[in-house]
Structure 1
Amino acid sequence: MQRRHPLLLLLIFSVFLSFQTSNGHNITRLLAKHPSLSTFNHYLTLTHLAQEINRRTTITVLALDNAAMSSLLNKNPSIYTMKNVLSLHVLLDYFGAKKLHQITNGTALAATMFQATGVAPGVSGFVNITDFKGGKVGFGAEDNGGDLDSFFVKSVEELPYNISVIQISKALPSAIAEAPTPGPSELNITGIMSAHGCKVFAGTLLANPEAMGTYEDNLNGGLTVFCPLDDAFKAFLPKYKNLTASGKESFLEFFGVPVYQSLSMLKSNNGLMNTLATDGASKFDFTVQNDGEQVTLKTKINTVKITGTLLDEQPVAIYTIDKVLMPRELFKAAPTPAPAPAPEEAADAPKASKSKSKSKSKSAPTPESDAPADSPDDDPADQTADDNAASSFKGGRFVAVGLSFLLVFLLL
């Protein structure tokens, strides 16, 4: 019996770990132990980059000491430009001190958080890392003409393969990252959408002053936009034109969320999400759901997928979606087709009447009366498939936990 206790404790601990979801690091707390990095830590918090760093795994922060930060601040950058510059110092890969000296072929090109925002054109969001002879490691922004004039100083904190904080000698110069950045209220969101495959949606939004005004009012406080790509929205325009004036306004506002949501936040915050059109009884909400790296948005009418990121600069994010998401408040679901009648039984079948009575099914649900248009035929099937997948995942988890407790019982 005594031999069973270690196994029992190990099993209980394993079950406990299966419910842990924390990334296990907090960049603000890690840097707080190093006073020489206090200014860098302060600006990570001020620009909200600290929150993004904490949500990610497999990441490297190139920290700057107070003297290096002072040189950077002497250029009087806006807080938005400062965010771009510092995001260039966050690598989306793990580079501990040991790995820096074991780079294949002596050089590597690392993507950064600046590149992930979608703001950095070409290769300007990448950092070159080169291991020189004699143990010196150089860093340089890829858009800086290949100059590697910042060098590895020391390892500050390492949680292997989760987060590495290393100090470098100076800020990475980058003309793109250091360029003056407009504040949120100065952003031309329709221009950004038009230039990246959402021209039809952007033009429709501009043609509706009431909806456009709602978007502009939310720029400073936080805004996330999901814009349908041109082919999808162009095909949908006839249905849009059939809506009333108030319906058109609500429909366009339905594609905006009055808070900033990065892609990592969308992946971790599954569930119902209100929109700019949400108003009391008029819910105009949708469900966010992810399957691995794929994020979907669902209503009772259809399901769409996020296909790209046009902008991810807090407090504004803009994503493209593959289809037009349809709110149930304005559209009705396609009626569910009735099942085919059961084939007639042979004359000598003794239980024909009983089988026939069992084959009866419920009639299709009545669609909402205030909906002026139908949804595409394939969308309810998409929604059903997603629901089944979610149910399977949850069911599998509960089975695993149930088996764990069964093993506990058997060990007692």
Structure 2
Amino acid sequence: MAHARSLTTTFFLSFLLLVIFSATTSHAHNITQLLAKHPEFSTFNHYLTATHLAAEINRRQTITVLALDNAAMSSLLSKQYSIYTLKNILSLHVLTDYFGSKKLHQITDGSALTSSMFQATGSASGTSGYVNITDLKGGKVGFGTEDNDGKLNAVYVKSLKEIPYNISILQISQVLTSAEAAAPTATPSDLNLTVIMAKQGCKAFADLLIDTGAKSTFEQNLDGGLTVFCPSDAVVNAFMPRYKNLTAAHKVSLVLYHGVPIYQSLQTLKSSNGVMNTLATDGANKYDFTVQNDGEDVTLKTKVMTAKITATLKDQEPLILFKVNKVLMPRELFKPEPEPVAHAPKAAKAAKANAEENEDADAPVDDSDDQTADNENGVDKINGGKLIWMVLNLCMGIFFM
């Protein structure tokens, strides 16, 4: 009996340590805040934010940032690249693996080829988005892009911050050079929205933009960022009978309802559920919807219906196009669909009455739906501190039995 009690106590203590370890090791990093402690990297920090790379860095679990001081950034900016080309160049300086200062000198065979965020986003062709890291003689470590003819044009200077194995910020001597990353990048004015839609199976929706005149509103928002939810040709064609019954003004509002005046990547939508305004939002006319995700699935819920994002058609910041499986229907234009009744009230009352009359019944009427909801909500309400305290009390009780 004592042996069994000892084993039980050991089990719960192990579980307690696991909970504490998980609570203390799970955290998020913020590249902007980390670099803010080093004013000599203020320009680099600013352009990570301006190019939206900072948000991408913060969302990743494991990352290495090759930071450039103000002098190195001044040299880069003197070439007057567009902000979109700058993003490609700087994304070469964000590695999708962890390299601390110690690991740099312990690379297997003295050299490693690792992918950068430029490669990970699909903007680079072949292996041009890979970075070569080589442990050189005399304790130096060289860095060079794969499409730089094998030249290691930058060297490791010092470590600014390391949080194993989440984020490492290392200073390198100068900008990594890459002909592909530095190539001219399409600007918003070069992006023909309706042509892109037509090529991606959304020509019917693109035609609606042109017919209603809403195309100009979409294009005016490109500079500041634009997210578009495109129903496919088949979906739009099936919806046309209802569309034709709308007034001209309402047709414009419906089309504008499919655009959001900000760039929102799929990962951002997954991590920032909530109400979202659209291009149709105007004062009292809310024309909003709610973004929700269930695992990898992202849905757009209005008061009328729910649509699901089925694919990413184009992701070239500041523009991103998603395909959705339904035409988005705002509550301002359409009546909400009646929600299905889960249980007939009369049947529920009859079941309850029968249960009360049954003297031999040992259990209450089945309220499994309510119990499930309570269990799910209850888990969310127990924070880490309370959970640890409950487990600790349980362990102590078992230990002193």
In the superposition, the TM-score normalised over structure 1's length comes to 0.70
In structure 2, the residue matched to 1:60 is 64
In structure 2, the residue matched to 1:349 is none
Could you say if the C-alpha distance between residues 170 and 198 of structure 1 is closer, same or farther in structure 2, counting changes exceeding 3 Å? farther
In structure 2, the residue matched to 1:179 is 183
Give the C-alpha shift of residue 256 in structure 1: 1.0
Provide the rounded CA distance (Å) in 2 between the counterparts of 1:328 and 1:145.
Answer: 58
Could you say if the C-alpha distance between residues 168 and 254 of structure 1 is closer, same or farther in structure 2, counting changes exceeding 3 Å? same
Q: Unpaired runs of 5+ in structure 1?
A: 1-6, 342-353, 360-387
Provide the rounded CA distance (Å) in 2 between the counterparts of 1:73 and 1:38.
Answer: 14
Provide the rounded CA distance (Å) in 2 between the counterparts of 1:216 and 1:204.
Answer: 14
Map of 1:140-159 to 2, 5 A cutoff?
Answer: 140-144=144-148, 148-159=152-163
In structure 2, the residue matched to 1:80 is 84
Map of 1:252-291 to 2, 5 A cutoff?
Answer: 252-291=255-294
In structure 2, the residue matched to 1:219 is 222
Provide the rounded CA distance (Å) in 1 between the counterparts of 2:343 and 2:27.
Answer: 50
Q: Unpaired runs of 5+ in structure 2?
A: 1-11, 352-370
Could you say if the C-alpha distance between residues 397 and 45 of structure 1 is closer, same or farther in structure 2, counting changes exceeding 3 Å? closer
In structure 2, the residue matched to 1:397 is 380
Provide the rounded CA distance (Å) in 1 between the counterparts of 2:188 and 2:288.
Answer: 25
Instruction: Check whether the contact 1:28–1:45 (CA below 8 A) recurs between aligned residues.
Output: no
Instruction: Check whether the contact 1:250–1:277 (CA below 8 A) recurs between aligned residues.
Output: yes
In structure 2, the residue matched to 1:170 is 174
Question: Given the alignment, which residue of 324, 329, 335 partners 1:326?
Answer: 329
Give the C-alpha shift of residue 253 in structure 1: 0.9
Could you say if the C-alpha distance between residues 285 and 128 of structure 1 is closer, same or farther in structure 2, counting changes exceeding 3 Å? same
Instruction: Check whether the contact 2:273–2:293 (CA below 8 A) recurs between aligned residues.
Output: yes
Provide the rounded CA distance (Å) in 2 between the counterparts of 1:390 and 1:122.
Answer: 49
Question: Given the alignment, which residue of 39, 50, 57 partners 2:54?
Answer: 50
Could you say if the C-alpha distance between residues 185 and 324 of structure 1 is closer, same or farther in structure 2, counting changes exceeding 3 Å? same
In structure 2, the residue matched to 1:69 is 73
In the superposition, the TM-score normalised over structure 2's length comes to 0.71
Map of 1:107-118 to 2, 5 A cutoff?
Answer: 107-112=112-117, 114-115=118-119
Query: CA offsets per residue over residues 239-260 of structure 1, 9 Å max, x none?
Result: 4344332232111111111233
Provide the rounded CA distance (Å) in 1 between the counterparts of 2:196 and 2:26.
Answer: 35
Instruction: Between 213-222 and 268-277, report the one with greater CA deviation.
Output: 213-222
In structure 2, the residue matched to 1:26 is 31
Provide the rounded CA distance (Å) in 2 between the counterparts of 1:185 and 1:391.
Answer: 52
Query: CA offsets per residue over residues 298-339 of structure 1, 9 Å max, x none?
Result: 2241231252262252x5443333443333333445556789
AA in 2 matched with 1:358:
A
Map of 1:228-267 to 2, 5 A cutoff?
Answer: 228-267=231-270
Give the C-alpha shift of residue 110 in structure 1: 0.9
Could you say if the C-alpha distance between residues 281 and 391 of structure 1 is closer, same or farther in structure 2, counting changes exceeding 3 Å? farther
Provide the rounded CA distance (Å) in 1 between the counterparts of 2:126 and 2:204.
Answer: 29
Provide the rounded CA distance (Å) in 2 between the counterparts of 1:171 and 1:190.
Answer: 37
Instruction: Check whether the contact 2:148–2:178 (CA below 8 A) recurs between aligned residues.
Output: yes
Could you say if the C-alpha distance between residues 101 and 394 of structure 1 is closer, same or farther in structure 2, counting changes exceeding 3 Å? farther
CA RMSD of aligned residues (A): 4.4
Provide the rounded CA distance (Å) in 1 between the counterparts of 2:106 and 2:74.
Answer: 32
Could you say if the C-alpha distance between residues 263 and 148 of structure 1 is closer, same or farther in structure 2, counting changes exceeding 3 Å? farther
Instruction: Between 96-105 and 301-310, report the one with greater CA deviation.
Output: 96-105
Give the C-alpha shift of residue 265 in structure 1: 2.9
Could you say if the C-alpha distance between residues 392 and 123 of structure 1 is closer, same or farther in structure 2, counting changes exceeding 3 Å? farther
Query: CA offsets per residue over residues 57-90 of structure 1, 9 Å max, x none?
Result: 3121112234432332232223332223212222
Provide the rounded CA distance (Å) in 1 between the counterparts of 2:27 and 2:348.
Answer: 55
Provide the rounded CA distance (Å) in 1 between the counterparts of 2:290 and 2:372.
Answer: 15
Provide the rounded CA distance (Å) in 1 between the counterparts of 2:71 and 2:121.
Answer: 28
Provide the rounded CA distance (Å) in 2 between the counterparts of 1:389 and 1:233.
Answer: 38
What is the percent sequence identity of the aligned residues?
53
Aligned length: 361
Instruction: Check whether the contact 1:272–1:287 (CA below 8 A) recurs between aligned residues.
Output: yes
Give the C-alpha shift of residue 157 in structure 1: 1.9
Q: Does 1:358 align with 2:350?
A: yes
Could you say if the C-alpha distance between residues 204 and 69 of structure 1 is closer, same or farther in structure 2, counting changes exceeding 3 Å? same
AA in 2 matched with 1:24:
H
Instruction: Check whether the contact 2:96–2:114 (CA below 8 A) recurs between aligned residues.
Output: no
